[in-house]
Amino acid sequence: MSQSQTRSAQASQANRVTLIGAIIDLIVGLAKVVAGWLVGSAALIADGIHSFSDIVTDIFVMAATHFGRQAPDSDHPYGHGRIETLATLWLGSMLIFIAGGIAWSSLSRLLDGEIASAPGLWAICVATVALLAKEWIFRYTLTVARRVNSRLLEANAWHSRSDALSTLVVLIGLLASQFGYGWVDAAAAIVVGIMVGQVGGRLLWESGQELVDTALPRAQQMTLYQTAMTVPGVQGIHDLRTRRIGGEVLLDLHIVVAPRVTVSEAHEIGNAVSRQLRDAHPDLFDVTFHIDPHDDAGETEHSLRPALPLREDVEQLLDDVWHDLPLWKERLALNLHYIDEHIDVSIYIDGLPDDRNLDDAAHELRDAASALTWLGRLRIWQGPGKA
């Protein structure tokens, strides 16, 4: 299954469970509000309003999941996962707003001395059924959220759990009122507001952490590091950086390889690291690697260091000092290795143009190029030619 098909299937599962939750919220919310109004329970009415707010949240979650799971495009090359993050921020803000309203109205009733009357058995039964229904939808939603790796859906699941817990508090208040402790109803409503506010605050904090590109926990970063180090040809890993977009992880890392391997071999080592990481960590959405010929962790950024000449300039500078030397004229190929702020030069020849040996020829080249401070190791490779 392609990545786009996987995203579509995940969005479909998320929307299905959210729609089921919305239907349950509608039924439960109506039952709570009607029962609370009939028996005069502020806590039960507040809890019913909380359930109605879940319906709005469910609709928003379905829209955000649909658009957030769309494939990357030219305007959003990293995908649309931030839509889910923004939706989670909105969800947290709305919960805090609702929590403040519930707590304030209930505190006013408590201070004014308004005491709830005994609610009756049927109101207690409504609260009990609502509690069981919300706990079931919490578990169902959380299971799907972890299956499709959606933090927004997981947040919505915990939203349902907060509703279940608030209903539990309301049930305690109703039971207390039934036995003559009417003030417990208002106190229970205040507790409900505090609990809802806590959930909203946590969602705001987690979404804010994602928006400022907070890294994965240290233990997870170490697991990624250890996975990358198991690939043959990898001599070191550094500058490993992680961040989240929606429920997916983006990873950047520098891979240290042997300094004189070919570009294609080094790149294939990087591809092997990427494959190994994706196999071991399915939530990885994007892996970007940089190949290093030596471990430069902690050193000055390459782009801020003094520049070394590139091939065209190197060949011109070498020609300026070696143009009269027979070996330079007879070269077949020239390889450059940029290592430790120097350029190692390897010259490939078919054979020596005179009777000298390779060591003498190398010394002659080295002496002629003594003014080139960037020149590192100089090597001559001879094929089956005249010598």
Chain position carrying tokens 């439960």:
28
CB 350 within 8 A of CB 383: yes
**Separation of alpha carbons 349 and 4, rounded Å:** 52
Q: What is the pLDDT of residue 222?
A: 94
Q: pTM, whole model, 2 decimals? A: 0.63
Amino acid at position 153, single letter:
L
Take residue 223 and report the two structure tokens written for it.
């697991």
Q: What is the pLDDT of residue 160?
A: 78
**Separation of alpha carbons 159 and 182, rounded Å:** 28
Measured over all CA atoms, what is the biggest interatomic distance in the chain, rounded to whole angstroms?
115
CA atoms within 13 A on the CB side of 328: 19
**Separation of alpha carbons 258 and 209, rounded Å:** 37
Is 345 a residue whose pLDDT tops 90? yes
**Separation of alpha carbons 105 and 199, rounded Å:** 20
Amino acid at position 337, single letter:
H
Average of per-residue pLDDT across 46-67: 72
The CATH superfamily assigned to 218-301 is Cation efflux protein, cytoplasmic domain (3.30.70.1350)
* DSSP for residue 213: T
**Separation of alpha carbons 10 and 96, rounded Å:** 29
**How confident is the model over 228-248, as pLDDT tens digits?**
999 999 999 999 999 887 667
Average of per-residue pLDDT across 142-166: 77
Average of per-residue pLDDT across 95-121: 68
Query: Looking at the domain that runs over 3-211, which CATH code has it been given?
Result: 1.20.1510.10
- Cβ neighbours of 354 (radius 10 Å): 11
Give the domain ranges of the chain: 3-211, 218-301, 311-382
**Separation of alpha carbons 205 and 349, rounded Å:** 64
More confident residue, 206 or 237: 237
Query: Looking at the domain that runs over 311-382, which CATH code has it been given?
Result: 3.30.70.1350
More confident residue, 62 or 135: 135
**How confident is the model over 174-186, as pLDDT tens digits?**
777 777 666 766 6
Q: Do domains 3-211 and 311-382 have the same CATH topology?
A: no
* DSSP for residue 303: G
Of the spans 82-86, 121-125, 249-253, which averages the highest pLDDT?
249-253
